[in-house]
A and B are shown apart, each in its own frame.
Chain A
Amino acid sequence: MSGASGRGRTDDGVEMAIWLVEGVRPYGGRPVDLLLRDGVVAEVGRGLSAPSGAHRLDAGGLVALPGLVDLHTHLREPGREDAETVETGSRAAALGGYTAVHAMANTEPVADTAGVVEQVWRLGREAGLVDVRPVGAVTVGLAGVRLAELGAMADSAARVRVFSDDGHCVSDPALMRRALEYVKAFDGVVAQHAEEPRLTEGAQMNEGVVAARLGLTGWPAAAEEAVIARDVLLAGHVGSRLHVCHVSTAGSVEILRWAKAKGFRVTAEVTPHHLLLTDELAATYDPVYKVNPPLRTAEDVAALRAGLADGTIDAIATDHAPHALEDKQSEWAAARPGMLGLETALSVAVRAMVETGLLDWRGLAERMAAAPARIGGLAGHGRAVAEGEPASLVLLDPDARWSVDPAASASRSRNTPYAGRELPARVVATFLAGEPTVLDGKACL
């Protein structure tokens, strides 16, 4: 059980509220009632009676899934609190149906010591909206030269298990090998941002027909695929786990399929935006579409969807990357790459995978909750919606349609690529270990 409810009530024995969620459809199945008590789903049945003092939630028509788990989020604190803080990012996550997020290490200072990861972990508990799990840097300062104190971070209160230099690639093959080996000691996993830096110098967008027309330096697919190919072979050779961040090309999916067939312990994630958007959007020169790895072609989008559907890609991870206005309201080359993602992830996933018939609700739950929780080693998350399991849930309205308004975002930043778009499905309520963090589409804290 995560026990991340920052109000500390579970610790000192004060009674938590009891919730009766009525008429909800777990995984889109038949409606049932869920009784949430003491942080777990105490009872599942029909026509349950509410104990005295219980809050009732009419969830008629809503679908219940396990609370979503994000393997890849940027909360920007410490260092860029103008773009996002742990609190505002947590709120955005809860509104998106998340009950746990992994906060990437490319903060200022970098999260490469026990001190910084514990600070982020503590901020997450204080906000009390999601279970914030800091990711530790693989190398000191993300410089790619020397390993950071991975063991110290694993042993810290933050109990880091996922390590990543995300933002940068661990490009030195010898160093990557050592990192893969070293984390075996505490069942950690290295999450690689696959980008051969020598092939992407000055790159602005996917290398291809659109980039040639727009006069923007290209980021070739081979720069991602070459690193993935190398890393899966290394992981196979030394027998460790490897996680690949934000897979973006059809070729990468093929390499992963091969690696899994060989029995290598490789997992992979894909972002919602790579499941929906293509590089044609760069023709506007609006840097809200600038992201790393870049948006690719329609063929890549199709291959990523197929790879996610058949399990080659294990999980959806947002790579939520808030940026201050001045970092996005400029000419393309001067803008920082990255898109918001927490509040729109579920809707975009529904549009790309459920509405297209590629996944059902169970399949979506597996990829947005269960698999990320397994990869990140989060015991209390991604569990089935069933009796005895932790009451970390998201209740969503599958039939809702909503229009994305950047000004209404809970994030401190505004750089969403979906501004003005209509998306399906809306999060109505989120419960974190039995406590509501979102009710009626609004954050409780």
Chain B
Amino acid sequence: MQRALFDAADVARVVDRIAHQLLEKTGGARDTALLGIPTRGAPLARRLAARIKAFEGVDVPVGTLDVTLHRDDLRLRAVRALAETEEPPGGVDDRLVVLVDDVLYSGRTVRAALDALRDLGRPRAVQLAVLVDRGHRELPIRADYVGKNVPTSRDETVRVLLSEVDGRDAVLLEQAPTPARGAGPRAGEQPAAGPPGPGSGGTGDRGRPDGVPAGLRTERRP
């Protein structure tokens, strides 16, 4: 059961609005860097930078920050493939770093991002921009820029599609009958690993595929 929350045009408008808000709140986005959290936070960050440049001619450095190695829930699922970490040109020290992600849910991904960020350097300040905030926070984390607040129930899933990854832009709300979970939602949680590969994105909010080839079994020859 799937419901479209945004179509492509909506996504574009929301990205524009966040870009404006960012410019407004930071007084022109000077000494600022955008760090996208893979998978879909990365193209989002690049789009934001492009819109900011279009609106006010400011070149905001963009990078990506893979948070996998800093997650607190690694042991709950099969091992995950790592994504790219690319420091924005000029680094993060003494800058305002805006983390960019597609969906904000329990907050654990952002918390892992803060840990990962700490190893990159010492920003002056850190803000958070997300396309969708679906509630159910488990940590005291809030976004500075939100595209849309979407109240959801725990058995629903918010799926963001971006053309760079999925071939089209949309935000979908899915009502999948999911099996009983343990401790409640984790950002980026997915149903059982499907085939790897970019864009295969399961139905989880993270949208990032497991990536590590399933079936890495190891039975020794008998």
Question: How many residues of chain A get a CB closer than 8 Å to chain B's CBs?
Answer: 2
By a CB distance below 8 angstroms, the chain A residues around B222 are: 284
Q: Mark A17-35, 1 if CB is under 8 A from B, else 0.
A: 0000000000000000000
For the complex formed, measure the closest distance between the CB of A26 and the CB atoms of chain B, giving whole angstroms. 41
By a CB distance below 8 angstroms, the chain A residues around B220 are: 284
By a CB distance below 8 angstroms, the chain A residues around B3 are: none
By a CB distance below 8 angstroms, the chain B residues around A283 are: 221
Main secondary structure of the interface of A (DSSP, over half): helix
> For the complex, what is the distance from the CA of A283 to the CA of B220, rounded to whole Å?
9
Q: Mark A271-312, 1 if CB is under 8 A from B, else 0.
A: 000000000000110000000000000000000000000000
For the complex formed, measure the closest distance between the CB of A419 and the CB atoms of chain B, giving whole angstroms. 12
> For the complex, what is the distance from the CA of A284 to the CA of B222, rounded to whole Å?
6
By a CB distance below 8 angstroms, the chain A residues around B221 are: 283-284
Closest chain B residue to A283, Cβ basis? B221
By a CB distance below 8 angstroms, the chain B residues around A284 are: 220-222
Q: Mark A149-177, 1 if CB is under 8 A from B, else 0.
A: 00000000000000000000000000000
Q: Mark B200-222, 1 if CB is under 8 A from A, else 0.
A: 00000000000000000000111
> For the complex, what is the distance from the CA of A283 to the CA of B221, rounded to whole Å?
7
> For the complex, what is the distance from the CA of A284 to the CA of B221, rounded to whole Å?
6
For the complex formed, measure the closest distance between the CB of A418 and the CB atoms of chain B, giving whole angstroms. 14
For the complex formed, measure the closest distance between the CB of B221 and the CB atoms of chain A, giving whole angstroms. 5
B173-222 contacts to A, CB under 8 A, are: 220-222
Q: Mark A47-59, 1 if CB is under 8 A from B, else 0.
A: 0000000000000
> For the complex, what is the distance from the CA of A283 to the CA of B222, rounded to whole Å?
8
Closest chain A residue to B221, Cβ basis? A283
> For the complex, what is the distance from the CA of A283 to the CA of B219, rounded to whole Å?
13
Closest chain B residue to A281, Cβ basis? B222
For the complex formed, measure the closest distance between the CB of A95 and the CB atoms of chain B, giving whole angstroms. 28
For the complex formed, measure the closest distance between the CB of A253 and the CB atoms of chain B, giving whole angstroms. 30
Q: Mark B84-127, 1 if CB is under 8 A from A, else 0.
A: 00000000000000000000000000000000000000000000
Closest chain A residue to B220, Cβ basis? A284
> For the complex, what is the distance from the CA of A284 to the CA of B219, rounded to whole Å?
11
> For the complex, what is the distance from the CA of A108 to the CA of B220, rounded to whole Å?
39
For the complex formed, measure the closest distance between the CB of A414 and the CB atoms of chain B, giving whole angstroms. 19
> What are 4 contact pairs spanning A and B, CB under 8 A?
A283-B221, A284-B220, A284-B221, A284-B222
B interface vs A, CB < 8 Å? 220-222
**Which 4 A-B pairs give the minimum distances between C-beta atoms?**
A283-B221, A284-B222, A284-B221, A284-B220
